[in-house]
Copies of this chain bind each other. A is one copy, B any other.
Amino acid sequence: MRDPGRFERDVLAPIRAIVGDRGIITDADAKQPHLVAWRDNWTGAVPAVVMPADTAQMAAVVAICAATGTPIVPQGGNTGLTGASQPHADNSEIILSTSRMQKIRAIDLDNDTITVDAGCVLATIQQAAAEAGRLFPLSLGAEGSCQIGGNLSTNAGGVQALRYGTARGLVLGLEVVLPDGRIWDGLRGLRKDSAGYDLKQLFIGAEGTLGIITAATLRLLPQTPASATAFLAVPDPAHAVAWLRRARKNLGENITTFELMERRCLDIAMRHNSRIADPLATRYDWYILVELNAQGDEEALRQRLLTVLEAGIEADEVLDGTLAASAEQAAALWRIREGAPEGQRLEGASYKHDVSVPVSQVPRFIAEADAALAARFPGIRSFGFGHLGDGNIHYNPIQAEGGDFAEWQSYLPEVNRIVHDIVIGLGGSITAEHGVGRLRIAELAHYKSDLEMEMMARLKQCFDPQNIMNPGKLLQPELLARHKAR
């Protein structure tokens, strides 16, 4: 394969000259955390993890990689779930990490923008916004360690996307190191800009395959200190959608979160966490967690929620419910939602789907997927839960109780195909917010039209003809070979 002496001379030594000893890790133990995914499901090997101190260093390192044909794995907080930020096993790539680029470059309060390095941790940005009296609304489980560059590269969603949209909509400007090592300065703080193609859109959600995002100018929003949180029981997902429609009509501008949960989720959340309790006296099949946020009067907001809740009960959309009377009670309701994925993890090997369908199709999706899986795998336990408000359901079937683990593992591709066939049939997506990476690279090619795959391949060829930027992620090498730049 590769001559290590020559690689040291042509690649690592020049990189070291740029980033210094602090900016390059070659020690096996120190490299390890960068090689393994958070959920331990992806791993690989690299000769070096490179951590530039700033954009100029990043660009210079990429230029060396471009000149020597060295493939690059861009990496942020390494919290992704699809293998996009881990290297392949063949030791052929280097990891280029944004972890040392953590400056908050500017906050402009009159423009409501914040400009940050790509390595800023999401929670740090949220906190900087809060200290300035503003809201940065992107919020997700990994926010304590994920980095904004990674969030933008996967177009992260999270629990408030219903109201604030995904990461894409929060970006006003980007700075990007292109695959040839040049720096594109698109760091603008404008809410309206029609001067040519909106190039930043290319890099958002591209999983590092078109360049490395090194900085971003992001929108800040007003804080919404008033909140109202309710936990409701509904007969089934169809009635949840009906009540959502009612709630949108009367409260839509204030709905921040609208989560659906099967009873089974509550059961295993309680089983694995003694701090989680059923807030309702009676057992029901399906639940909704809804949260409103506003700038105005909190009591008025609660009253409006109560009115819509009562109308829902009147219309038989809602069976029962509780409105949090304090921040503590609201936190207890949130613990149920947060305990659901944790409980599933502790319960056994689930197959995590990250699908979305039109909100109107969620009931049909859950019913069809439940039925198809139960018919094929008797005893399978499915857990319908997720962000109903934006159609993003984390549908995670778990093996039958007492079933054979290895056998179940061998079924996963089939489970996957059954669920995704239904999703695509309903006009949905096989990944709503986690992305493609390596996990879904074959599934993407399977479900997308040939034309769409060709358009993606042409875009990739246009900006990264050498295919050195995160190769083998998102787009299969065979596809790229088929659509070589003309």
Contact = CB atoms under 8 A, between A and B. Distances in A.
Contacts of A188: 427, 429
A95 interface: no
Contact of A297 (B245, B300, B462, B486): B300
Interface string A152-183: 00110100011001101100000000100010
A192 B455 contact: no
A359 B112 contact: yes
A110 B486 contact: no
Interface stretch (A10-18, A249-257, A276-284, A318-326): A249-257
A248 interface: yes
A391 B111 contact: yes
Interface in A218-277: 221-224, 241-242, 244-245, 248-254
A432 B222 contact: no
B249 A444 contact: no
A360 B111 contact: yes
Contacts of A190: 356-358, 391, 427-429, 432
Interface in A180-234: 182, 184-186, 188-199, 201-202, 204-206, 221-224
Contacts of A367: none
Interface in A292-341: 294-297, 300, 304
Contact of A458 (B221, B358, B455, B462): B462
A69 interface: no
Given A112-B359, A462-B458, A485-B485, A192 B161 contact: yes
Interface stretch (A33-41, A46-54, A445-453): A445-453
Among A195, A294, A387, A433: residue with most chain B CB under 10 A: A195
Contact of A195 (B161, B254, B429): B429
Nearest to A247: B222
A20 interface: no
A346 interface: no
B196 A448 contact: yes
Contacts of A449: 185
A459 interface: yes
Contact of A436 (B194, B254, B458): B194
Contacts of A161: 191-192
Given A190-B432, A191-B390, A250-B295, A452 B196 contact: yes
A342 interface: no
B245 A109 contact: yes
Contacts of A391: 111, 190-192
Contacts of A359: 110-112, 191
A189 B427 contact: yes
A138 interface: no
B465 A462 contact: no
A97 interface: no
Contacts of A249: 133, 222-223
Most chain B beta-carbon contacts within 10 A, residue among A155, A191, A456: A191
A431 interface: yes
A75 interface: no
Contact of A251 (B295, B429, B432): B295
A170 to B, nearest CB: 11
Nearest to A158: B192
A99 to B, nearest CB: 23
8 contacts: A184-B455, A186-B452, A193-B356, A196-B456, A222-B248, A223-B249, A250-B295, A465-B486
Given A190-B356, A196-B475, A296-B304, 16 more contacts: A108-B358, A111-B391, A161-B191, A182-B451, A190-B391, A194-B431, A195-B429, A195-B430, A195-B436, A196-B444, A197-B474, A221-B253, A253-B254, A297-B300, A455-B463, A485-B486
Sorted nearest first, the 3 A-B pairs with minimum C-beta distance are A222-B252, A110-B360, A201-B201
